[in-house]
Amino acid sequence: MQRQLSLFGTKPVAEDARAKRLHILAWNMQSPTRVRAAEQLRWLESQRVDVLVLTELTHGEGSRFLVEQLERAGYDVLSAIPRGGKFTTALCVRGRSPQRLEQTEEFHSSRLQGCKLNVGGRNVSILGVYAPTGWYNTPPERLAYRRKFQQDLVHLVSSSDPECIVCGDLNIIEPGLGIVVPGLEDAGLYRGLLALGYCDAYRLMNPQGADVSWVGPDGHRLRLDHCMVSDSLRTQVTSCHIDHSPRRLELSDHSAVGLTIEVS
C-alpha cells in the first residue's frame, strides 16, 4: 500500500489575522505561452483576491513568467517543477502568511499545493488541485491513474483539518445532471467529498445555476472547476460565482471560479 501524505498538522498558524474575509480565485491557465501569460497577468492584476489557485501550468516560459511576476507583485507562490508529469499547480497568497502544509512525500507529482491560513483567528487549509482529465480516447492506463488520483485525494482530505477548501480544476462533472462524457465519469472524488461533509460552493450559492467553466473545441460545455468547502465552513460562504470574462477574452479555454468566505 502506498504511503499517504501527512499534510495536516495541529500546529496553529503563527499570525494574528485581522481579516475575516477571504477571496479565492481558481483558474486553469491552459499551458500559457509567454505572450498569453502577459495578457493573463494583466487580467489577474485587476482581480482583488487573497488567494490564486492557478492550474495547468507547465515548466514552459509562460508559466515561469507568471510565477516570477506574481512573486514581484507580493504573492507568496507555492509551486513545484513538474516531476514525472507535465503539469503543476501554483497556490499564490498575498496579504497573509501561508504555512505550507507538510508533505512527507510527493502527492502525484506537483498537481497539488496546500497551505494553511489564519482567517479571523481560524485555521483554514487550502488545497489547490489540478486533477487528471479523461476523454473518449484516453488510454486505459491514464484512466486508471485518474481513478487512483481521485481516490487518494479523498483519502488525503479525510485526514485534513476540519476547516478546509479543495479547489481548482478537478476535472469532474457534477453527478445527477444527466451529462455523460466517457472518460470524465466521477471516479469517487465528487461523491467522496460529499460523503466527508463537503459541499459544492457553487451549487450551494446557485441552486439552479447552469454555468459552465470550460468550453471545448468540439462544443462541449462543462463545469469542471470547483470549490468544495468543508462542512464547518458551509455557513461562512458568502459568494461563489464563475467569471466568464477571461474565457471570452480568449485568455484560456476555462472561466475562473471565485469564492468568498467570511468567518464569524
Q: Does 9 reside within a domain?
A: no
* CA atoms lying within 13 Å on the CB side of residue 39: 15
CA gap 140, 183 in Å, rounded: 9
Question: Could you tell me which of 23, 226, 4, 1 has the C-alpha nearest to residue 106?
Answer: 4
| pLDDT tier at 10, thresholds 50, 70, 90 | very low
C-alpha cell at 264: 464569524
Mean local confidence (pLDDT), 236-258: 98
Between 105-109, 119-123, 193-197, 247-251, the lowest mean confidence (pLDDT) is in 105-109
Q: Does 81 reside within a domain?
A: yes
Q: Does 12 reside within a domain?
A: no
CA gap 244, 104 in Å, rounded: 38
pLDDT surpassing 50 at residue 17:
no
Q: Does 204 reside within a domain?
A: yes
Question: Could you tell me which of 89, 130, 118 has the C-alpha nearest to residue 22?
Answer: 118
Mean local confidence (pLDDT), 97-124: 82
pLDDT surpassing 60 at residue 189:
yes
pLDDT surpassing 60 at residue 210:
yes
The backbone torsions φ and ψ at residue 95, rounded to the nearest 5 degrees and listed phi first, read 85, 0
**pLDDT tens digit string along 147-187?**
999 999 999 999 888 999 999 999 999 988 878 787 787 66
Provide the domain limits for residue 127: 21-262
pLDDT surpassing 70 at residue 39:
yes
CA gap 219, 51 in Å, rounded: 31
Structural contact between residues 126 and 91, judged by C-beta atoms closer than 8 angstroms: yes
Q: Does 62 reside within a domain?
A: yes
In total, how many domains does the chain have? Answer: 1
pLDDT surpassing 80 at residue 110:
yes
CA gap 77, 227 in Å, rounded: 20
Global pTM value: 0.91
Q: Does 153 reside within a domain?
A: yes
| pLDDT tier at 64, thresholds 50, 70, 90 | very high
Q: Does 235 reside within a domain?
A: yes
pLDDT of the residue at 207: 97
pLDDT surpassing 50 at residue 1:
no
Task: Identify the CATH number of the domain in which residue 249 sits.
Answer: 3.60.10.10
Q: Does 39 reside within a domain?
A: yes
